[in-house]
Amino acid sequence: MKQLTRAFIVIAALSLVLYIAIDRLNSSQGYSGGNTLTIYNWGDYIDPELVDKFEEETGIKVIYQTFDSNEAMLTKIQQGGTTFDIAVPSEYAISKMKDEKLVIPLDHSKLPNLKNIDQRFMDLSFDPGNKYSIPYFWGTVGIVYNPELLGGKEITSWDDLWNPDMKNKILLADGAREVMGMGLNSLGYSLNDTEEAHLQEAKAKLNRLTPNVKAIVGDEIKMLLANEEAAAGVVWSGDASEIMAENENLDYVVPEEGSNLWFDNMVIPKTAANPEAAHQFINFMLDPETAAQNAEYVGYSTPNKEALAILPEEISGDERFYPDAETTEKLEVYDNLGKKMLAHYNELFLEFKMHRK
Ligand code: SPD
């Protein structure tokens, strides 16, 4: 009898160890379920306090993973084998995910806080009726620069970056659409242009920027610019606001030739293990206090009108990050150019990166 009890204890202990090991492995791979919620978001894109608050309020355990480009996020979800409950793609990636049936329709009855979103961010062409996606943050692409490192010079246009004075002084965000868009916009073309001659012209112009480019980097661009290791950087607006909060010598401009207006929305991927908790999380993030705290922490522009109303005036009234109608008119949203053309943009961007080596 004693032997039987001992054997039982050993088996129970081994099962417990195995259970914990599998749970840890699953969490690290993005497999969830049960009372967990797996979030797949851009790096530096949430106030971690809010994740803790959500866990405390709901008893749901959050597993949090990050990506640094729409392309990386798409590849991971397309490959399958993950159970992300929430992802935060940009507009053209949402349109692609819808086409490829990678997202599930949302139940708006579970999102009462949706009423807090400003109507101008709802029902946009990439997701009519917000059937699959809910606004999270929005912004522009522009140039953050340090006039002190440029002899007091102001930057107003993309073309300023090609000035020989800028030799080895520029950092670029590591994004195919952003960099190709800059090349196209600087030539007066649309950042959704698909004419081969225009794309080649943009790449040739980007190649001529090479001597001025110090590095093409991910999230570390913020630290490098704040530490004055470069005089200018092509960045998303919210990153600029974060950098400028660190170093007040810096300024941000949306170039006069035009640039990109983008929207990052929350979606529930098709392979979600816990869509119920995903709806709870989306609704939590739509709460005005929560959205305002998040916007203040990450520095990006909120689409939540009730949150905007409680943000300090120095944030909500800053036209560099909440641009007026005149600037907005010059901005374009990325179209989903289709699989082949998006691959071509990536290819051209890679060739430009290789040209630097
Ligand atoms: N560090 C968070 C960056 C999020 C930026 N999303 C912008 C996407 C533009 N297509």
pLDDT tens across 131-147, in order? 999 999 999 999 999 99
Angle (nearest 5°) at CA 138 between 132 and 139: 150
Using DSSP's 3-state secondary structure scheme, residue 328 falls into helix
- With a cut of 50, say whether residue 32 has pLDDT above it: no
pLDDT at 13: 52
pLDDT at 6: 61
**pLDDT band, very low/low/confident/very high, at 122 (cuts 50, 70, 90):** very high
Say how many Å lie between the CA of residue 214 and the centre of ligand 1: 21
Rounded CA-CA distance 84/72 in Å is: 14
Specify the residue with its C-alpha closest to ligand 1, atom 5.
236
Cβ of residue 218 lying under 6 Å from some atom of ligand 1: no
Q: Of residues 5 and 353, which shows the higher confidence score?
A: 353
Q: How would you classify residue 130: left for phi > 0, otherwise alpha for psi between -120 and 50, otherwise beta?
A: left
Rounded CA-CA distance 141/254 in Å is: 7
Q: Both tokens of residue 331?
A: 């901005």
Rounded CA-CA distance 290/26 in Å is: 29
Q: Which residues contact 235 (CB under 8 A, 6 or more apart)?
A: 141, 142, 143, 144, 173, 221, 222, 225, 243, 252
pLDDT at 208: 97
pLDDT at 177: 94
Q: Which domains does the chain have, with CATH numbers?
A: 2-137+264-316 (3.40.190.10), 139-261+323-356 (3.40.190.10)
φ/ψ (deg, to 5) at 253? -135, 140
Burial classification of residue 221, based on how many CB atoms lie within 10 Å of its CB (0-12 exposed, 13-18 middle, 19 or more buried)? buried
Specify the residue with its C-alpha closest to ligand 1, atom 3.
42
User: Averaged over 26-51, what is the pLDDT?
Assistant: 79
The single-letter code of the amino acid at 63 is I
pLDDT tens-place string over residues 281-306:
999 999 999 999 999 999 999 999 99
Residue 92 counted as an annotated binding residue: yes
Q: pTM (2 decimals)?
A: 0.87
Of ligand 1's atoms, which has the minimum distance to the CA of residue 91?
A: 10
Positive or negative, the CA dihedral 177, 178, 184, 189 is positive
Comparing C-alpha atoms, which of 292, 294, 247 is closest to residue 148? 247
Q: In what order do the strands lie in the sheet with 86-87?
A: 61-67, 36-42, 86-87
Mean pLDDT of the chain: 91
User: Averaged over 205-218, what is the pLDDT?
Assistant: 96
Say how many Å lie between the CA of residue 42 and the centre of ligand 1: 7
Using DSSP's 3-state secondary structure scheme, residue 306 falls into helix
Q: Which position has the token pair 């995903």?
A: 278
pLDDT at 162: 98
| Contact criterion met (CB below 8 Å) for 45 and 55 | no
Residue of 266, 300, 345 to mutate, ligand 1, most atoms within 8 A of C-beta:
300
Cβ of residue 43 lying under 6 Å from some atom of ligand 1: yes
Of ligand 1's atoms, which has the minimum distance to the CA of residue 139?
A: 7
φ/ψ (deg, to 5) at 154? -95, 150
Q: How would you classify residue 59: left for phi > 0, otherwise alpha for psi between -120 and 50, otherwise beta?
A: left
Cβ of residue 23 lying under 6 Å from some atom of ligand 1: no
**pLDDT band, very low/low/confident/very high, at 16 (cuts 50, 70, 90):** very low
